[in-house]
Amino acid sequence: MSPSLNTSPSASSKDEGGGIAPQNKGSWSSFLKSIASFNGDLSSMTAPPFILGTLSLTEFSAYWTQHPSVFVAPASEPDPAKRALLVLKWFLSTLKPSYSTRNDKYGSEKKPLNPFLGELFLGKWEDEAGTTELVSEQVSHHPPVTAYCIQNAKHGIKLEGYNGQKASFSRTIHIKQIGHALLTLTPPTSSSTTAQSPDPTPSAEKETYLITLPNIHIEGLIYGKPFVELNGCTYISSSSGYAAKIDYSGKGWVSGKKNSFTATLYPAGKEKEVLYTVEGQWPEAFTIRQGSGKHGAVVDTFNARTQPITPLTVPALDQQDAWEANKAWDKVITAITKGDMDATNAAKSRIENAQRELRRKEAAEGRDWERKFFARADKSEEWWDRLAQQGCPGERIESEKTGGVWRFDEGKAREARRPFHEGLSPC
C-alpha cells in the first residue's frame, strides 16, 4: 500500500464533528463546573470522550512545517538581518496551522489525545524545497513532554525542540507552554562588501535561533465551541546578533480584531532601533514593513488563508510500527469518528492500562524507558544562556517541569528502525 497524504497531521480527523453535540450539552456544563472547581494542573484531568479530538499531541509537531519553502528560505539569504527577518516570517506562518487549523476544519477546538511514553510520529514533506523530514517522540509522560526534529538536508536547516504544557482555570482555561525550539542553519557565502573589505566574505559558521513559545487561553467555552487565543509575547534570539519580539493580543489593540499581533526585529539589546515591523492577524494575513510603525515601505506580505500547503506524507497504517501514533490510536480514532463513546473509552483505557503496566515493570526492574531519537542534555548549555540573555527576557530552562532538557540525538536516530521496541506493544 502506498503512503497516505495528509494536509493536516492526520487524515483520520477528516470526519471529526464540530462543536458540542446537543445530547452532550448537559455533560459539557458538568465538565466546565468540574474544571472550575479543580485545583492543580488541568492536563492531569480525564476528559469526557465526547470532547476528544482524533489527533495526538505528537502530531502537532507537523504544524511547524506546512510551508517547507518558507521554512528553508532563510538558509539561502546571505544578508544576516534579512535572514533573521525570514526566520521571523516563517515562525509567524506557523501560528495558524498550530493554533487555528482544527477550529477552522471542525468548528471548535478539541482536546488532543495525550501521547503515551515512547509514542512516535514520523513523516516527510516533498516539494520544490526538497525532502523535509519530521521525527516526533513522546519523551516523558509525567510530566507529558513531546520532542521533535524537522530537517531539510538539501538546505542545511534543522528545527528541534520540546514542549510540555501546564493548564489552569481562571474564568477560562489558561495553558502555559514550557520548552523552546531551536532553528539551526548554515548561512550561504555572504555577497555583501564594505570599503575595507571589497571581496565577499564566506560565512560557514552555523547560526542558531532560540524561539520561545506563546501562552494560550481557550475562549468560547460557555458556548460549547472552544477556540485558541494567544496572549503575552514571545521572542526569537539569533547568534547572528538580531532579536525579534512578537506581541499577541486577543482584544486586538492594534487593529480592533481578535488574533492580532505586532512583531519587531532589531539588533539584540537595541529594541528601540527597529529594522522591520510586522502586523496582522496570525490566522489571516500580515504585512512586513521597514522600520517602526505603519508607514514604512512594505517589504513583504503573507496570507495564511491562501498560502499553499504541502501535504505531509506518512506511512500507511499497515507499514507503521505499533508505537507510531496513527497505528496505536487507530481504534480510538475510529470510535471517536463514529461517535461511539463507549468504544472510545474502552479503547483508550486499554492503552492507558497497558502503559501503567509497562511503568510498573520498569520500576520493578530499576530501568528507564529507552528513547529512540532524543536524549537528555546538559541543563546549563552556555550558548542557550547567551541567546536567552541576549534576546529573550525572563526566559529560562525549566527542566524540572519537562523531565529534563531534550535534544535530538543523531547517533540514536541513525540506529532507529522498525520495529522500534521489538517484543513490546503500547497496548
pLDDT, tens only, 86-108: 999 999 999 999 998 766 655 56
Beta carbons of 210 and 236 less than 8 angstroms apart: yes
Beta carbons of 321 and 420 less than 8 angstroms apart: yes
Name the average pLDDT for the chain: 86
More confident residue, 215 or 104: 215
Least confident stretch, 134-148, 253-267, 393-407 = 253-267
Q: Helix, strand or coil for residue 211?
A: strand
- Taking residues 135-151, report their average pLDDT: 96
pLDDT of 378 above 70: yes
pTM: 0.88
> In 3D, which of 324, 294, 319, 339 has the Cα closest to residue 425?
324
The reply to whether omega before 68 is within 30° of 0 (cis) is: no
Q: Helix, strand or coil for residue 316?
A: coil
pLDDT, tens only, 280-305: 999 999 999 999 988 899 999 999 99
Position 200 scores a pLDDT of 33
Taking the CA atoms of 75, 79, 84 and 90 in sequence, report the sign of the dihedral they define: negative
pLDDT, tens only, 14-39: 444 455 666 666 666 776 777 766 66
pLDDT, tens only, 175-201: 899 999 999 999 997 444 322 233 333
Residue 335 CB contacts under 8 Å (≥ 6 apart), including other chains:
341, 343, 344, 346, 347
pLDDT of 401 above 90: yes
Percentage of the chain exceeding pLDDT 70? 81
